Amino acid sequence: MTVEAYLRSLVVGLDLDKDVLTRAAYSPIEVGLAPFELGDDAYPPSGIDEDFQKRLDYSASTVYYSVLGVFAGGGYSEQVGDVRTSRSGFVVTADDRLRYKSLGDALRLKHNFPTDTSVEVGGMFDARYLRGR
Q: What is the pLDDT of residues 53-73, one digit of tens each?
A: 999 999 999 999 998 877 655
Residue 93, burial from CB neighbour count under 10 angstroms (0-12, 13-18, 19+): exposed
Helices and strands, number each (H, E), in the chain: 4, 2
Q: Specify which residues 79 forms β-bridges with.
A: 84
Choose between 94 and 30: higher pLDDT: 30
Q: Specify which residues 77 forms β-bridges with.
A: 86
Segment 93-121 mean pLDDT = 87
Segment 70-89 mean pLDDT = 72
Residue 125 within any structural domain of the chain: no
Residue 23 within any structural domain of the chain: yes
Q: Which domain holds residue 25?
A: 3-115
DSSP letter, residue 74:
P
Residue 127 within any structural domain of the chain: no
Residue 122 within any structural domain of the chain: no
* Tally of domains in the chain: 1
